[in-house]
């Protein structure tokens, strides 16, 4: 995290002084910008979406990591839900783990060419993989009164099979100099559902790390977050209701205090039909709204 902190502060200072994005020059050494970091986070999520449970919160442990080596840039994390197996957790009885890996390949470093233009500092082949954390279940579709919708062809309650998350994303990415925010990672993907073995829509993602205030003891406060927005997907309909939307996503806005070894933070996350599940009660999922995250971190 020290390298990330230094990089973020340097980038913000440079952008503030010049207002021009600096190019990534790898003509002399593709490893000159290498760095790595890892931290463990203890998290508590309140009213996380999609919500299938009357219970409203859960704790989890997260191993978060990232770095760069030559042409490769990596960010990822592994979550372990409800580590103390509390029955009161809204993750009780659900899958224990979720993993996200987001490898990118720098086209500037790969080709040895400066591909920067305007506010774009560096260009990447971008990928992302999400595994687990969902629920493998048969969800019964209900009407506005909460009664099961009957399939007229079978005479049985209409249901939708929901598999655990197993998605991959493939596309193009860039580091973009954004006014005030500084360097912001942006990626535009096509989504390939590994369960369905089919392409289904697109996703735009952006993430940032903005130092706000430095203290005399070397610690600082940052504004950090991300946006994930899916669009162009195939909607899914039941006989009387829409089950899946063509678009949806989430935005996380966090304030964090950082020292050399520790971090404390709060994040607000806003959802709209997250994971494309509609918020009309058709599957019993609440997929639109706001959740709150609290975290304490130890950095390695």
pLDDT digits (tens, 9 = 90+) for 162-183: 567 889 999 999 999 999 999 9
Separation of alpha carbons 9 and 45, rounded Å: 29
> Closest by alpha carbon to 132, among 194, 71, 68, 176?
194
Q: Which residues are within 8 A (CB) of 18 and not within 5 positions of it... i.e. 6 or more apart?
A: none
Largest CA distance in the chain: 71
Helices of type H across the chain: 2-18, 107-111
Has residue 19 got a pLDDT over 60? no
Q: What is the dihedral of CA 13, 16, 17, 22, to 10 degrees?
A: 80
First to last CA, the chain: 8
21 contacts 179 by C-beta, under 8 angstroms: no
Q: What is the pLDDT of residues 73-123, one digit of tens each?
A: 999 999 999 888 888 787 777 778 999 999 999 999 999 999 999 999 999
Residue span of the structural domain in which 144 resides = 2-299
Global pTM exceeds 0.85: no
Contact 174, 120 (CB under 8 A): yes
29: enclosing H helix or E strand: none
The pLDDT of residue 244 is above 60: yes
pLDDT at 1 over 70: no
The 10 Å Cβ neighbour count of residue 180 is 10
- Count: domains in the chain: 1
3-state DSSP helix/strand/coil % of the chain, to nearest 5: 10, 55, 35
**Confidence at residue 51, expressed as pLDDT on a 0 to 100 scale:** 79
Q: How many helices (H) and strands (E) does the chain have?
A: 2, 16
Q: What is the CATH number of the domain that holds 150?
A: 2.40.230.20
Handedness of CA 191, 196, 197, 199 (dihedral sign): negative
Query: What's residue 247's pLDDT?
Result: 96
Type and span of the H or E element at 239:
none
pLDDT category at 8 given cuts 50, 70, 90 is very low
> Residue 248 has which token pair?
């949806």
């Amino acid at each position: 995290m020290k390298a990330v902190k230094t990089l973020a502060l340097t980038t913000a200072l440079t952008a503030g002084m010049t207002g021009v994005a600096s190019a990534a020059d790898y003509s002399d050494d593709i490893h000159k910008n290498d760095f790595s970091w890892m931290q463990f986070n203890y998290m508590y999520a309140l009213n996380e979406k999609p919500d299938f449970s009357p219970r409203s919160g859960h704790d989890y442990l997260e191993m978060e990591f990232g770095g760069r080596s030559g042409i490769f840039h990596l960010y990822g994390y592994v979550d372990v839900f409800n580590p103390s197996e509390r029955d009161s957790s809204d993750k009780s009885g659900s899958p224990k783990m979720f993993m996200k890996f987001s490898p990118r390949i720098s086209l500037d470093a790969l080709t040895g060419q400066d591909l920067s233009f305007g506010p774009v500092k560096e260009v990447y082949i971008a990928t992302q993989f999400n595994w687990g954390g969902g629920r493998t279940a048969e969800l019964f579709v209900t009407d506005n009164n909460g009664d099961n919708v009957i399939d007229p062809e079978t005479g049985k309650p209409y249901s939708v099979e929901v598999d655990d998350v197993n998605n991959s994303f493939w596309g193009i990415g860039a580091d973009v100099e954004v006014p005030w925010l500084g360097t912001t990672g942006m990626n535009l993907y096509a989504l390939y559902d590994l369960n369905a073995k089919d392409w289904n829509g697109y996703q735009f993602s952006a993430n940032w790390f903005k130092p706000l205030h430095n203290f005399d003891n070397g610690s600082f406060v940052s504004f950090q977050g991300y946006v994930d927005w899916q669009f162009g997907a195939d909607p899914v309909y039941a006989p009387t209701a829409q089950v899946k939307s063509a678009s949806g996503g989430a935005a996380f806005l966090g304030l964090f205090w950082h020292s050399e070894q520790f971090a404390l933070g709060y994040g607000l996350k806003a959802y709209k039909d997250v994971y494309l599940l509609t918020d009309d009660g058709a599957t019993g999922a609440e997929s639109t709204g706001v959740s709150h995250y609290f975290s304490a971190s130890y950095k390695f």
